[in-house]
Amino acid sequence: MKMSGAQILCESMVKEGVEVIFGFTGGVLLPLYDTFPQYPQLRHILVRHEQGAAHAADGYARATGKVGVCLATSGPGATNLVTGIANAYLDSSPMVAITGQVARPFIGRDAFQEIDITGITLPITKHNYLVPDTGSLARIVKEAFHLARSGRPGPVLIDIPRDVFVDEVEFHYPARVNLPGYKPTLEGHPAQVRKAVKLINEAHQPVIIAGRGVIISGAYDELKYLAETAQVPVITTLLGIGCFPESHVLSFGMLGMHGMAYANMAVSAADLIVAIGMRFDDRATARTSAFAPHARIIHIDIDPAEIGKNVRVDVPIVGDVKLVLKALNELVISSEHVAWVRQLDDWRQEHPSVEIRDSEGLLPQFVIRKIYEVTGGEAIVVTGVGQNQMWAAQHYWYNRPASLISSGGLGTMGFELPAAMGAKVGRPEDTVWCIAGDGGFQMTIQELATIVQEKIAVKVAILNNGYLGMVRQWQEMFYQRRYVATPLSGPDFIKIADAYGIPALRVTRREEVVPAVEQAMAEAGPFIIDFKIEPEENVYPMVPPGAAVAEVLEEPEKGVAVWPRRSTP
């Protein structure tokens, strides 16, 4: 049966299980948009900016484990996707980005809205395609979805010229892909698994550092079995939060620049690190030369390029986390590390990193804790980047898988609102809270219109301190309070919410927090709360730049915080 390229694309997406597309139309996409009414099973959500489409597809993918799909026209539409594609690439989020391109005879002639988007996105995609003809389209779509979801997931871009949408060919969707050069290693090498088990069985002070790879592979039960059988404390990266229940007796929180002081101390004292699906990025390790100085390191990751890239590794294991942990669990013996776990508990008591002090003003930590209490820890939390991200990571406790969604590697302000929108579309039965700073929220604020039009019931908590808070904190601590380009004159968010038709509240006092959150939860649709928090509240703990991971500033100093300070015990 002959079909147009637009029909072939839609048929192919249906066969790949696509349910929703986040997109923004344009001239070269008109043949595709004219075809969409033939495919009511494909829900198209019209965003207000293409960056929002990419972040929404990313949030959808992280919340569901499915491939997120975003769509943009040629030229500026395609380039507006770039930040979202890069964000998905660094955080290993499965995404297919589809862009329109000028017709083939005009390519390379500087036609109106022509841009080499495959060249631009080459460093930030797993793979990308410029479709040469309509007959290749079905195969390319099949390959793109396979690449996006398999191995180490990531974004794949398909650039489709306008005339490819129009031309007609016989439609045959391939049953399988044929990519001889692409064969991810899934099973860990048996000899390496045995070496790792030997180190685990012999360790006296072991620590597991669990990252986003555990979530991607769905290895929650396998991680829990390993931790409980070998009695190994579990610490997570920022993007690993939610892979291990934070209420578990062996859970010791997040490590790194704003991680728990006791987690950082545990890593520095450990004799064995079992790193699972994490990449030893600088925010987790701080000064790499001083990271885990007494420990042997086992590193499990599906991407061989990550192993040995940042820190020395004694036992590398390339493979899918779930399958490797299953193999480890068959050989690991029951162990007890009573003294070691007790030591970590003592450090947790001595260094209470998540204790909230009394304050006359409204503290953001208090706001996050109350959102946790009102939701019972059952919400999906989607954050921006900066102070709001760290407070949400520290003061909301995550026991459910994939319940924290945040921008990690790229650190993208503006991620939070569209990503929360995508997460809610993907998991409509779950409560989704968007935790935003007043700076990041304004970067993609236009997506409030999308949320209203599509009736997406995202709850928004704006931690409004009138600053670009994390940069201001650095200026306070390391630049003698020279606040350059960080004071932020913001709009009246209540009036903005009213303009979009969204109910909203402003909260300035502690006693108003819980009633406001309860009112937001009771509302059937979206809701915004503008929390006017302490303007110069800082995020602690903090590992200053150039310090070792255990050299932690644990609490605010009176006046300007000073570094270096006394050494951490």
Percent of the chain with pLDDT over 90: 95
For domain 364-532, give the CATH number. Answer: 3.40.50.970
Same fold, 190-350 and 364-532: yes
Query: Is a pLDDT exceeding 80 seen at residue 134?
Result: yes
pLDDT tens column, 355-411: 999 998 999 999 999 999 999 999 999 999 999 999 999 999 999 999 999 999 999
Measured CA to CA, the distance from residue 156 to residue 130 in angstroms comes to 11
Mind giving me the DSSP string for 21-78?
A: EEE---GGGHHHHTTGGG-TTSEEEE-SSHHHHHHHHHHHHHHHSSPEEEEE-STHHH
Tokens, residue 356: 């909230």
Position 130 scores a pLDDT of 98
pLDDT tens column, 483-507: 999 999 989 999 999 999 999 999 9
Fold for 190-350, please state it: Rossmann fold (3.40.50)
Measured CA to CA, the distance from residue 283 to residue 76 in angstroms comes to 33
> How many helices (H) does the chain have, and how many strands (E)?
23, 20
Measured CA to CA, the distance from residue 152 to residue 7 in angstroms comes to 30
Query: Is a pLDDT exceeding 50 seen at residue 145?
Result: yes
Q: In one letter, which amino acid is 145?
A: F
- DSSP letter for 405, please: E
Query: Is a pLDDT exceeding 50 seen at residue 562?
Result: no
Query: Is a pLDDT exceeding 70 seen at residue 566?
Result: no
pLDDT tens column, 75-106: 999 999 999 999 999 999 999 999 999 999 99
For 246-261, what is the mean pLDDT?
97
Position 442 scores a pLDDT of 98
pLDDT tens column, 190-224: 999 999 999 999 999 999 999 999 999 999 999 99
Position 555 scores a pLDDT of 77
**What does the mean pLDDT of the chain come to?**
96
For 271-294, what is the mean pLDDT?
96
For 121-141, what is the mean pLDDT?
98
For 28-47, what is the mean pLDDT?
98
- DSSP letter for 568, please: P
Q: Domain-by-domain residue ranges, the chain?
A: 2-170, 190-350, 364-532
pLDDT tens column, 511-559: 999 999 999 999 999 999 999 999 999 999 999 999 999 999 987 654 3
Range name among 63-67, 218-222, 560-564 with the lowest pLDDT average? 560-564
Query: Is a pLDDT exceeding 80 seen at residue 569?
Result: no
**One CATH from 3.40.630.30, 3.40.190.10, 3.40.50.970, 3.40.1080.10 for 2-170:** 3.40.50.970
- Which residue do the tokens 């003809």 mark? 133
The pTM of the full predicted model, rounded to 2 decimals, is: 0.96
Q: In one letter, which amino acid is 398?
A: Y
Measured CA to CA, the distance from residue 112 to residue 46 in angstroms comes to 23
pLDDT tens column, 423-479: 999 999 999 999 999 999 999 999 999 999 999 999 999 999 999 999 999 999 999
